[in-house]
Amino acid sequence: MQSPKRAALLGASGYTGADLLRLGVRHPGLKFVALTANTHAGKPMASVYPHLGWAGLPDLVANEDVDFSDIDVVFCGLPHGASQKLVAEIIEQNPSVRVIDMGADFRFRNAADYGPVYGADHIAPQLQDVAAYGLTEHNRESIKEARIIACPGCYPTAALLALLPLVKAGAISTDDMIIDAKSGVTGAGRAPKQNTLMAEAGESVTPYGVGVHRHAPEIEQEIGLAAGVKVAVNFTPHLIPMSRGELVTAHVKLGNAANADAVRDVLKSAYADEPFIQIAEKGAIPSTGHVRGSNYCLINVFDDRIPGRVIVIAAIDNLVKGSAGQAIQNFNVAFGFDEATAIEALPLFP
C-alpha cells in the first residue's frame, strides 16, 4: 500500500468535518496533520467533540496557520462562500495539492449559476474548470483527474442516485418531478438556531425552504444535463425529529418503462456493481434507519395509484453518503485506494 496522504481538514468543528474525522482516522492511507476551526483554534479536539477523544488527533488551529505546501489533500468543510477564497489561494499556491470540498461553492458547473442561488457572485469562477462534480457513482473518471472535487449536497446525492439512471435510460419523464424530501436536523449544522433546538424540532415535522431550497437548482442541473433539456423540479424538504438520515420520495411520471418493476430493473442494472448502492427487493421499503451512520444508499420503486406514475424512494445518511463518507469515497477514487476503504462499516441499527 502506498504511504499515507497528508491531509488537512478545514472546518473541523462542523458536523461534516467531525464525521470526516470519525471515518478518516481509521483510513490507513490518510494522516490528518492539520485541523482548522478558527473560533476554536488552540483547543484539543476532545474539548470540541468528546467522541473524537480516542482518535489521537492534532489540536485545532486557524486556517492561516496551516502550511499547505506540506499537504497532499485538503478536505474542506467550510460554509458556502468561505471556501472559495481559501481554496483559490491553496490551489494556486500549491501545485500538487488537491481539494475535496464538502461545501457548495464548486457544485455549479457554470459558475454564473452560483450567484443567483447563493446571493453573491462566485469569486473564483476559473477554478470550475479544474473541478469535478463529486457524485461518485456517476463521475468517477472526472473525479480521478480533478484538482477540486465538489461533493454534492446531501439532498442532490439521494435524489440523483435515485433518478439519474432513470433519466439517462428514459425510463421516467423529466416533466413534473415531485421530490418530497425528509432530513434529520444535522443537515442544519452545529451553530445554535432556534428551529433546531430539541424543544422545537422534537416531536414535530416541519417543511422548510418550500419552493426555494438551494439544492433544487443543483438537482435540476444534473437531471437537465442527463436529459439534455432544461428541467424544473418540485423540491420540498421537511425537517424530521432525528439527528441523521435523509429520505427522498420522488413522485415521477413513467417514460419508456411500463411500471415500477421495469423501473426497478433499470436501477438494478445501473448499480449492479456498485458496493454502496442497493436496490431493495420488490415491496421492501427503504428507511433511513437502515443506512444510519453508513455510506450506503438504499432505493426502491413502487407503483402509484395514479396510472402512469411511480414512486422512487431513496435513503441515505446525510452526513455520510450525503457528505463526509462520499468525500472519503472520492478521496479513494482520486488517490487510487480501494473505493470502500474506511467507509465499509455497516449501518448502525437500531
Cα–Cα distance between 301 and 34 in angstroms, integer? 44
Question: Can you tell me which of 168, 207, 214, 259 binds its own copies, judged by CB under 8 A?
Answer: 207
298-327 positions binding its own copies, by CB under 8 A: 298, 302-307, 309, 311, 313
Q: Binding of its own copies at residue 117 (CB under 8 A)?
A: no
Q: Binding of its own copies at residue 347 (CB under 8 A)?
A: yes
- Residue 55 vs 82, nearer CB to its own copies: 55
Per-residue exposure over 37-54, b if at least 16 CB sit within 10 Å of its own CB, e if not: bbebbeeebeebbeebee
235-274 positions binding its own copies, by CB under 8 A: 235-236, 238, 240-245, 247, 249, 251
- Residue 112 vs 348, nearer CB to its own copies: 348
Q: Is the dihedral of CA 38, 40, 42, 43 positive or negative?
A: negative
Say whether 154 is catalytic: yes
The grid coordinates listed for 309 are 406514475
Q: Binding of its own copies at residue 25 (CB under 8 A)?
A: yes
Site string for its own copies, 41-80 (x = CB under 8 A): -----xx-xxxxxxx-------------------------
Q: Which residues contact 342 (CB under 8 A, 6 or more apart)?
A: 23, 24, 26, 27, 30, 328, 332
Shortest approach of its own copies to residue 329 CB, angstroms?
Answer: 14
Q: Which residues contact 104 (CB under 8 A, 6 or more apart)?
A: 80, 118, 153, 214, 218
Shortest approach of its own copies to residue 75 CB, angstroms?
Answer: 16
Three-state secondary structure call for residue 32: strand
Shortest approach of its own copies to residue 292 CB, angstroms?
Answer: 7
Supply φ then ψ for residue 292, to 5 degrees: -55, 130
Q: Binding of its own copies at residue 294 (CB under 8 A)?
A: yes
153-182 positions binding its own copies, by CB under 8 A: 176-178, 180, 182
Q: Binding of its own copies at residue 35 (CB under 8 A)?
A: no
Shortest approach of its own copies to residue 327 CB, angstroms?
Answer: 16
Tally of CB atoms within 10 A around 80: 19
Tally of CB atoms within 10 A around 117: 17
Q: Which of 32, 119, 49 is nearest to 79 (CA)?
A: 119
Question: Among 29-37, 151-159, 265-273, 286-294, which window interacts with its own copies (CB under 8 A)?
Answer: 286-294
213-232 positions binding its own copies, by CB under 8 A: 216, 232
Shortest approach of its own copies to residue 239 CB, angstroms?
Answer: 8
Q: Is residue 117 within 8 Å of 214, Cβ to Cβ?
A: yes
- Residue 236 vs 330, nearer CB to its own copies: 236
Question: Can you tell me which of 141, 203, 272, 273 binds its own copies, judged by CB under 8 A?
Answer: 203
- My answer on whether omega of the bond before 350 falls inside 30° of 0, hence cis, is yes
Cα distances (angstroms) measured from residue 345 to each of 74, 294, 299, 348: 23, 6, 19, 9
Shortest approach of its own copies to residue 164 CB, angstroms?
Answer: 19
Shortest approach of its own copies to residue 125 CB, angstroms?
Answer: 25
Question: Among 74-82, 100-108, 120-128, 201-209, which window interacts with its own copies (CB under 8 A)?
Answer: 201-209
Q: Binding of its own copies at residue 344 (CB under 8 A)?
A: yes
5-24 positions binding its own copies, by CB under 8 A: 15, 18, 21-22
**Phi/psi-derived region of residue 203, left when phi > 0, alpha when psi is between -120 and 50, beta in every other case:** left
- Residues that bind its own copies (rule: CB under 8 A) add up to a total of 91
The grid coordinates listed for 75 are 478536505
Q: Binding of its own copies at residue 287 (CB under 8 A)?
A: yes
Place of cell 470502500: 340
Which residues belong to the active site? Answer: 154
